[in-house]
Amino acid sequence: MTTTRTASPTTGAAAKSRGGKTTREAIVTAAMRLMHVHGYNGTSLDDVLRESGVGKGNFYYYFRSKEALGYAILDQLVDGFVERTLAPCFADATESPLSQMRCFLDRIVQMQRDLQCRGGCAMGNLASELSDVHEGFRKRLASVFTTWHRRLAEALAEAKRRGTVVVACDSEASARFLVASLEGAILLTKLTKDIGVMEQCVGELKRYLAAYEVTA
């Protein structure tokens, strides 16, 4: 689904759309909301246009295709995850790496609590839906989880350098285990609609980290 990009959006639509958002913001926000519930393939362009209140001509001014919109949504999801969940816990270099990781685990729990156990992980949902059928999305999603994994692995490696985690801890493998476990926990929480499931799983991950911690 592609088309030639128009020279300019319809007068007025480029500045503001429904709810005071710019046209592009309105499109992305509406599409994110729909895709979080119905998935990428289950959300049509017409659905997005109805939800956003944006005309087709204005849509194609900002996005050449539904695929381009999907990439923009993924970029926004990643930026939001890093800004609100990942980066704040690792911003203070004086904080111990294990404390940083526990902070991150707590934020994941709070995120699911705020969502009332609905929707699961938006990035995980896209990965499950598209990784086998869309190479462009697969590569982008793989890079997202690689970034997440790398940040946790770096924290564990730093803890080993500081002597607060035993040398036997494999930073790379442990970080991958944490990412995979969190994704599984989010999925189970979505299925059960029970935040207690998320809390229990994160509690076990904290005990896993504690098993590698050097005690005085």
CA dist 125 to 32, 56, 179, 199, Å? Answer: 12, 27, 14, 21
Structure tokens at 59: 């849509």
Residues of the chain with CATH 1.10.357.10: 67-212
Q: How confident is the model at residue 164 (pLDDT cuts 50, 70, 90)?
A: very high
Q: Out of 38-42, 75-79, 91-95, 183-187, give the one with best mean pLDDT.
A: 183-187
Q: How confident is the model at residue 7 (pLDDT cuts 50, 70, 90)?
A: very low
Q: Share the mean pLDDT of the chain.
A: 88
CATH 3.30.565.10 is held by the domain 18-64: no
- Buried/exposed code over 139-177 (b: 16+ C-beta within 10 A; e: otherwise): ebbeebbeebbebbbebbbbbbeeebbeeebebeebbbe
Give 17-26's long-range contacts (Cβ < 8 A, gap of 24+). Answer: 17/52, 17/53, 17/54, 18/52, 18/53, 23/54, 23/58, 23/61, 23/62, 24/62, 26/52, 26/53, 26/54
Fold observed for domain 67-212: Tetracycline Repressor; domain 2 (1.10.357)
Report field, pTM of the whole predicted structure over 0.85: no
Residue 110 has pLDDT above 80, yes or no: yes
